[in-house]
Structure 1
Amino acid sequence: MDEAPRVPAGLLGGHLRVLAEAAATGLLPDRGALDDYRVAGARAAESGVPLRALVESALMMAESVGSAPLPALRRAVSALMEGYENAQRLALRQEEAARREFVDDLLQGRADRLAERAEHFGLRLAETYVVAVARPARPVDGMARPARPVDGVTHGETAHGGVAEDMAPDEMAPDAMAYGAGPARRIEEAMVARFGSHNVLVAVRDGGLVCVAPGSLTVAPGEFTHHVRQMFAPGWRVGLGRPHRGPGGVVTSYREATGAIDLGDRLDLRASVLKAADLLVFPVLLRDRAAIEDLVTTVLSPLLQARGGPESLLGTLEAVFASQGNQTAAARRLGVSTRAVTYRLERIRRLTGFSPDDPTQRFTLETAVLGARLLDWPSHPLD
């Protein structure tokens, strides 16, 4: 007889007795015996015994019985495999829970054994890291969007009333994103395949997909963005923080990435990838709220007198600034005639006393318009 696979002594201690009783009585293993097999399967999984080795050992032991009935052996092996697989699923869920807890602690700056836990997930927190965050800019057609992330979400309803794919209950994280854990897992697998498991961390958090990568991997954020675009429907933004060192640097980069997306939403920016490094002027503006409110009030409040309100005039200014002063290009953006743009700019000049044709006044006007968007003016009047 061939040598039995290596299985811990005593793991299948009752196996021969069960088979012998089945051979003698013709009865199948009872519930208690099957439960013992499930426990043995779970212990084997926890001990790192390969499933194939466990099954081969059970089959080889059955050969020594000689007349062991096949139905009894089949039930025994099935119970062993069931216990083994249940233990594996439990271990995966525990690993996912530990991962989510680590990501939450990392991105919120809670430092309890952070470096030690980071090594388990392949991160060396003494290095410089960059954080990229992907999330929907606004509800769009075809994008799954549950009312809120909750435990036990099984399906995400799309804008068309359909069901998002890859939304099986055992795949969903407690803060399950609209798109489910399946696509997120595929993005992580693609990133790990290219950069290695010790270089990237991809996780679902706060309705967004987060990617943490070393600053030395300059192509990693672009690769992440590529997979987000490939995996999900249009309407997603990716915010990219700046490189920062250490655990606190990860927190800073994450906040910069989410802040870039927030600014893109507030300013209605068209870009799908927003770099915090390109938007540094906006936090500067917001640091002195009193000054920006005074600028908006002084420069733009006369537009409130315009017939139909100030929105069309503000939109015209934004289009002109985005077109580097080219009124024809601005007209195309707005879907109006060039003459209409010229007329609106003249109205702005008459009402405010500022003209975008003058370099100094143009800067004042553009800063005021940006401030208005940041403050959601005129929808929210300033004191």
Structure 2
Amino acid sequence: MDVLAHVSEATGVPSDLLEGYLPVLTAASATGRLPGRDAVEALRALGKAAAERGVPMRSLAEACLLASELAAGPVETPLIGAARRALGAYFDGYEEAQQHALRQEEQARREFIDDLLQGRADRLAERAEHFGLRFAQAYVVAVAKDAEPIGEGDPIVRRIEQALIGRFGSHNILVAARDGLLVCVAPGTLAAATGEFTHHVRASLTGGWRVGIGRPHRGPGGVVTSFREAGDAIGLGERLGLRPQVLKAADLLVFPVLLRDREAIEDLVTTVLGPLLGARGGAEPLLETLEAVFAAQSNQTAAARKLGISTRAVTYRLERIRRLTGFSPDDPTQRFTLETAVLGARLLGWPPGATP
């Protein structure tokens, strides 16, 4: 077996990547001179090819030293062999230190994100600078929820993080798993970040995913607020049966307002919609009709298509609602009262027995 074949078998480095190395050794041994420019350029090209083919630098160095050892004379062989073993020890120590540093960095990153999203302020601003966050500016938090909880070890976390870092830079984006959600923290000025995050979520998760996007807020407390808004947006979407998979907290501000005075909204729902409980078939079909009509901007034909019934049936149901409640969707003021009451009913899980 020739030298190249032996070295390739021992180190796993393809022999064609070493073909330019042995002539350099032979020429140096014969002339005592260092390799010339052409030889160096040829080796540079082989080094680039090795990187492109995924050959580790450690393996390439091991192969070169082994080839030198096999090609050397009896005097040089022990020295090169000792150098090869010593360099291997250097590589071991270096790689061990690198792995330890990576593990420490990842642990520090996880702890920082936990503290950030929980609002724990232990040296938060100082630590934030290490991860590229500047609390003087506003940040937006987007969260994604899948049918199954997303954990820290889920490959999607790293995959989406790398995709976003590749586009926006490592000092602009934080991606992590938290409370079963995939979380993305981005500067409020980086408007494209949440859209890019959603794009990768859509491509990576199952059909049951949802994305919630908080509003931009400043400071560590602002990140916490935006995170909660994003999660609440998903929760509202599920409770209200909203169709969009991407929900922005800014578009849903009316719902926290409604829930802020629970006693008032309960009174509104009971007063306006309570009479529907006595309707034949119960209140639910009539509530669904109102929701469809409101969503279709009072277009009864479109509402009927969505409900899978005739337009005449929609008209009949609306007339029953008017007779029972005294409120008509055709009157602007009464429409607002009805629509608010229907939204409140969904938030409260009304009629009785429904899930809030």
Give 1:278's aligned amino acid: D
Alignment of 1:272 with 2:282, yes or no, is no
**CA offset at residue 110 of structure 1?**
0.7
Higher mean alpha-carbon deviation, 301-310 vs 320-329, is at: 301-310
- The match for 1:131 among 130, 141, 159 is 141
Task: Report whether the alignment pairs 1:317 with 2:290.
Answer: yes
One-letter amino acid matched to 2:167 = R
C-alpha offsets along residues 241-276 of structure 1, whole Å, 9 cap, x if unaligned?
111111111111111111111111111111111111
The one-letter code sitting in structure 2 at the alignment partner of 1:337 is S
Q: Post-superposition shift, 1:80?
A: 7.2
For structure 2, the residue ranges without an aligned partner over 5 or more in a row are: 1-55
1:372 aligns with 2:345: yes
**Partner amino acid for 1:251?**
V
Q: How does 1:43-82 map to 2 (within 5 A)?
A: 52=58, 59=65, 66=77
Distance change >3 Å, CA 320–CA 265, structure 1 → 2: same
CA–CA distance in 2 between the matches of 1:58 and 1:379? 78
CA–CA separation in structure 1 for the residues paired with 2:103 and 2:316: 63
How far apart in 2 are the matches of 1:283 and 1:115? Answer: 30
Question: TM-score, with normalisation over the residues of structure 1?
Answer: 0.69
Equivalent pair of 2:62/2:88 in contact (CA under 8 Å): no
**How many aligned positions are there?**
295
SS in 2 for 1:308: coil
Alignment match, 2:315: 342
Any idea what SS the aligned residue of 1:66 has?
helix
| 1:241 equivalenced with 2:214 (yes/no) | yes
Tell me the distance in 2 between the aligned counterparts of 1:359 and 1:259: 30
Residue in 1 that maps onto 2:277: 304
Percent of aligned pairs with the same amino acid: 72
- Please give the alpha-carbon distance, in whole angstroms, between the structure 1 residues aligned to 2:109 and 2:176: 8
The corresponding residue for 2:27 is none
CA RMSD of superposed structures (Å): 3.2
**1: distance between equivalents of 2:293 and 2:63?**
77
Please tell me the residue identity of whatever aligns with 1:116.
Answer: E
The 8 Å contact of residues 51 and 84 in structure 1, kept in 2 or not, is answered as no
Q: Unaligned stretches of 5+ in structure 1?
A: 1-49, 140-144, 150-171
**1:107-256 matches, cutoff 5 A:** 107-136=117-146, 139=147, 145=148, 173=152, 176=153, 180=154, 182-256=155-229
CA distance in 2, matches of 1:288, 1:360: 21
CA–CA distance in structure 2, aligned partners of residues 69 and 333 of structure 1: 80
Residue type of the alignment partner of 1:252? T
Equivalent in the alignment of 1:284: 257
Structure number with the higher helix fraction is 2
Q: 2: distance between equivalents of 1:94 and 1:207? A: 23
Distance (Å, rounded) in 2 between the aligned partners of 1:87 and 1:377:
60
Question: How far does residue 90 in structure 1 lie from its aligned partner after superposition?
Answer: 4.3
TM-score by length of 2: 0.74
